[in-house]
Amino acid sequence: MADAASAIRAGELVVVPTDTVYGIGADAFTPSAVAALLEAKGRGRDMPVPVLVGTVRAANALVEEFGTYGQDLIDSFWPGPLTLVCRASRSLNWDLGDSKGTVAIRMPLHSATLELLKETGPMAVSSANRSGAPPATTAADAEEQLGESVAVYLDGGACADTVPSTIIDLTTPVPRVLRRGAIPVEKLRSVIGYVATDADPHLDDPADIADPAIDADQPGAPDKSDTVESPQAAKADTVESPQADRTDKTDDAQADVVGKNDDPQAVTPDAGAVSDPVVPPIPFSSADDEPAEGTRPVSPGDEVREAADEVRDAADEVREVPVDEVLEVPVDEVPEVGPGGVAPSAGKAGRNGAGGAVEQGGSGTTDVPRKDS
């Protein structure tokens, strides 16, 4: 174990056992070591290397966040065969390949590997085999394929289970399974609810890998029958839209009107067409299809036209009135005004209480016009 830890610190490669298959690892923060790992496998930078961690704390330091569902998945399946694809922390100085800002991260369920990870910190680890070849299930299998490119081989015996880890993408609003593996999709759904699944790629052919964070050398177990449609698509198959339901009812009602009246013109046109409203004519009351006396077909515009005609007739009558027939308004004669601005008869009216009040003075009597209140 000490030799393996020293090799990692020196930027060399080691082979370690995991809870799935054997892996080849390097210090995740030494770019030259990661490049040597890719070269030993015969793998390009377009397929970046996943990262193994020994603690959840170390995993949190490597990612921006685990999102809504990450912590629940960690609590349920770590350590174990579940790889989470997350947004890598932008503050990290590492080079795992063309990762496009993501990292595939996992905590393995193997005591020897966890002990090494706690000594070295996060390691870039891929399956211990040449790209395209079967993954190694023993240390001897790994050495046969990788030879002297690896400094230390840790022998943990034969792998008990060769099924690779399940890979789930947490960089999208809805978690999406990128590769089926040791943890069934049903268990994932029992923890976080809905999980999107796609048809698995042929993992032994790098050209078929859709996501750069997948460790392509570990074959998955494709099962297209388990592919689940999105919630929106599933809902569309089972629930008709309210608009479609109203359209069906409207069509039935229109067909019923046509059947009763035998007059397609009486049916309201489609909502998308613009046309004048059609009003059914008033039924004829006579047996020979002639309108009954005092009745006739009407439309909404008839009343408006009749009202307009009445207004025009009234205006014509006003214009035809002769000028000499215009009523003359009589004007009362202006009373004659006497000395002092008072009509001669005003005094008498004032004395009788109708015209004004009498003011007594030293030299005589003067009529004062009364102001109406």
How much is the pLDDT for 302? 60
303, containing H or E segment: helix 300-319
- For 177-219, what is the HEC assignment? EEECCCCCHHHHHHHHCCCEECCCCCCCCHHHCCCCCCCCCCC
> Positive or negative CA dihedral for 257, 259, 264, 269?
positive
Find the distance separating the first CA and the last CA of the chain, reported in whole Å: 122
Q: Which of 37-51, 213-227, 338-352 has the highest mean pLDDT?
A: 37-51
52-64: pLDDT as tens digits: 999 999 999 999 9
Q: What is the per-residue pLDDT across 343-360, written as a single tens digit (0 to 9) for each?
A: 555 444 444 444 444 444
What are the φ and ψ backbone dihedral angles of 31, each rounded to 5 degrees?
Answer: -55, -35
- Distance CA(55)–CA(360), nearest Å, equals 123
pLDDT for 286 equals 38
- Closest Cα partner for 25 from 136, 118, 102, 113? 113
- Residue pair 81/163 in contact (Cβ under 8 Å)? The answer is yes
3-class secondary structure, 45: coil
Residue 208 has pLDDT above 70, yes or no: no
Q: How far apart, in whole angstroms, are the C-alpha atoms of residue 46 and residue 44? A: 5
**Structure-model confidence comparison of residues 257 and 167, the more confident one:** 167
pTM confidence score? 0.56
Q: For the chain, which domains are there?
A: 2-230 (3.90.870.10)
Q: 204 near 216, Cβ under 8 Å?
A: yes
Tell me how far the alpha carbon of residue 13 is from its chain's centroid.
46
Asked if the model's pLDDT at residue 107 lies above 70, the reply is yes
Q: Rg of the Cα trace of the chain?
A: 50
Distances (CA, A) of 200 to 47, 147, 204, 205, 219: 16, 31, 11, 12, 10
DSSP-based three-state secondary structure for 37? helix
Residue 368 in tokens:
């004062």
In this structure, what are the phi and psi dihedrals at residue 52, rounded to the nearest 5 degrees? -105, 140
pLDDT band at 334 (very low <50, low <70, confident <90, very high): low
**Which residues make Cβ contacts (< 8 Å) with residue 201, sequence separation at least 6?**
179, 208, 209, 210, 214, 220
- What crossing angle do the helices spanning 67-77 and 185-192 adopt, rounded to 10°? 120
Q: Which range (89-93, 168-172, 180-184, 287-291) has the least confidence?
A: 287-291
> Pairing relation of β-strands 23-27 and 51-52?
unpaired
- Does the pLDDT of residue 235 top 60, yes or no? no
Q: Which of 174-178, 193-197, 241-245 has the lowest mean pLDDT?
A: 241-245
Reported as a pLDDT band with limits 50, 70 and 90, residue 242 is very low
Question: Distances from the Cα of 319 to the Cαs of 281, 313, 314, in angstroms?
Answer: 38, 10, 9
- Whether the CB-CB separation of 52 and 23 falls below 8 Å is answered with yes
**In terms of C-beta density within 10 A (0-12 exposed, 13-18 middle, 19 or more buried), how is residue 23 classed?**
buried
> DSSP per residue over 213-244, as a string?
TS-TTS-----GGG----HHHHHHHHS--HHH
